[in-house]
Amino acid sequence: MRVAMLTFYPEDLARVSGGVRMVSVNLAEALRRYADLDLHVIHCHSDIIAANPETPDRVMTVPGASGEGRLTVAYLPLPRRSITPNLTMAVSRLKRYLHALQPDLVHAHVGHFAYVGASMGLPTIYTIHGVLSRERQVYSRKLYDRLRYGLLSYYEARALPRVQQLVAISTHVQIEYGQIRSVPWARIDNPVPQAFFDLTNRPEPGRILYAGSITEIKDLFTLVRAVERVRAARPDAALYIAGRVTSQAYAERLRTFIAERGLQGAVHFLGLLDRQALLAEYECCSAVALSSVQENAPMTVIEAMASGVPVAATRVGGVSDLVSEGETGFMTAPGDDAALADRLLVLLNDPDLCARLGRRAREVARARFSAEQVASAYYALYHQVLARSRGDDLGVAP
């Protein structure tokens, strides 16, 4: 079976930024164990190194162990232009690529990529990673963002009724997209690799980890204010921020805010870490914090659970699908730095509680998020969708 996975995919697999990219890397690697699967991962974006109109496509077959399925990764560069031409150009480029590839099935991880497969009449699965209508409320101040989300919403709206299968990575997605009743849904969690389950916890007192992008939707101002409150009772408390800057202006305002509060020694920016460095951060932190105003199924929560680390996170989107209050971590209302500080203090002041919550979190993660289990669910879904599609072609009821 030839599957085209249309997604965002990093060029440096050791240093992965963003939830969609992380999910795609974890899933593609786990799907390789199926020898009958010819998997083509296709990334079309202006972030490809040295992207310009003359840059050739780069297609590589990734070597694997004997008996593994074939994994081919294609990087299709786009010029660094404004968002409108780039989105429409990505759609055109992907259509041309798929026309030559002739896949049996398309698995898209973003809306305009789902539109590509569906508009070509190819059996298409669309895994919804973000709720555009919610994200659009956060990124609404700049004309650039309004144009970007407007066009993304346009493509997604055209794709949704035309795909053969929708996948929800949280019940939050199914609620938000509840108006789509003509397309079957599957509920499949995001995958995390075995390396996180293999960690041995060595928590350092007072060490708090945030792993994610530095951008408005993460509301890091609330997290920094919470850490400031925590330090009033625990002067040893410190926040370590691991992730790339996706909003430079927001990051600059955050750094200014930290300096104004005199917290430079308590808030540490680690940048985008490679896999081993990120694993080391999960291994040595006492708690993972997330202060977002909107999330779906955040990878940092899933990774923390697999690592056996308790989480203090805002109760938004699909977070409550992941965190069980008082069992694997704690949740607070978005924007409430006092409540978040209180929950972090509870964790930092009670190592035995942290250990108990972490053990339970790892048990839950092992049952739900292992990459092999998630890949198995997708592999079965690929066959189901392809069989339905072929049945339709033959006039047979699916």
> Tell me: the pLDDT tens digits for 109-166?
999 999 999 999 999 999 999 999 899 888 888 887 888 889 999 999 999 999 999 9
DSSP 310-332: -EEEE--TTHHHHPPBTTTEEEE
Same domain, 218 and 121: no
Same domain, 111 and 209: no
Q: What is the pLDDT of residue 398?
A: 36
The encoded tokens of residue 140 equal 């609404």
Q: What is the pLDDT of residue 102?
A: 97
Find tokens 């509301």 and name the residue. 219
**Domain presence at residue 398:** no
Residue range of the domain that includes 319: 195-368
Q: Are 279 and 244 in contact (CB under 8 A)?
A: no
Q: What is the pLDDT of residue 196?
A: 98
Residues in the chain with pLDDT < 70? 49-56, 63-68, 80-85, 392-398
Q: Where are the alpha helices (DSSP H) in the chain?
A: 19-31, 83-101, 111-119, 132-138, 143-159, 171-176, 194-197, 220-233, 248-260, 275-284, 299-307, 319-322, 337-348, 351-368, 371-393
Please tell me the distance from the alpha carbon of residue 151 to that of residue 180, in angstroms, as a whole number: 20
Q: Are 274 and 242 in contact (CB under 8 A)?
A: no
Same domain, 21 and 162: yes
Phi, psi angle pair for 86, to nearest 5°: -65, -45
41-61 as b/e: b if 16+ CB within 10 A: bbbbeeebeebeeeeeeeeee
Q: What is the pLDDT of residue 371?
A: 97
Find tokens 């040595």 and name the residue. 284
Same domain, 207 and 169: no
The encoded tokens of residue 168 equal 């929800």
Q: Which residues contact 99 (CB under 8 A, 6 or more apart)?
A: 120
Q: What is the pLDDT of residue 397?
A: 38
Q: What is the pLDDT of residue 63?
A: 64
As a whole number, the mean pLDDT across the chain is 92
The whole model's pTM is what? Answer: 0.92
Q: What is the pLDDT of residue 396?
A: 39
The encoded tokens of residue 38 equal 């010819």
Same domain, 222 and 268: yes
For residue 146, the one-letter residue type is R
Same domain, 165 and 265: no
**Domain presence at residue 126:** yes
Reported as a single tens digit per residue, the pLDDT across 153-202 is 999 999 999 999 999 999 999 999 989 989 999 999 999 999 999 999 99
Same domain, 376 and 352: no
Reported as a single tens digit per residue, the pLDDT across 294-311 is 999 999 999 999 999 999
Q: What is the pLDDT of residue 395?
A: 40
Radius of gyration for the alpha carbons in the chain, expressed in angstroms and rounded = 21
Please tell me the distance from the alpha carbon of residue 206 to that of residue 236, in angstroms, as a whole number: 6
- Counting the structural domains of the chain, the total is 2
Q: What's the CATH number where 58 sits?
A: 3.40.50.2000
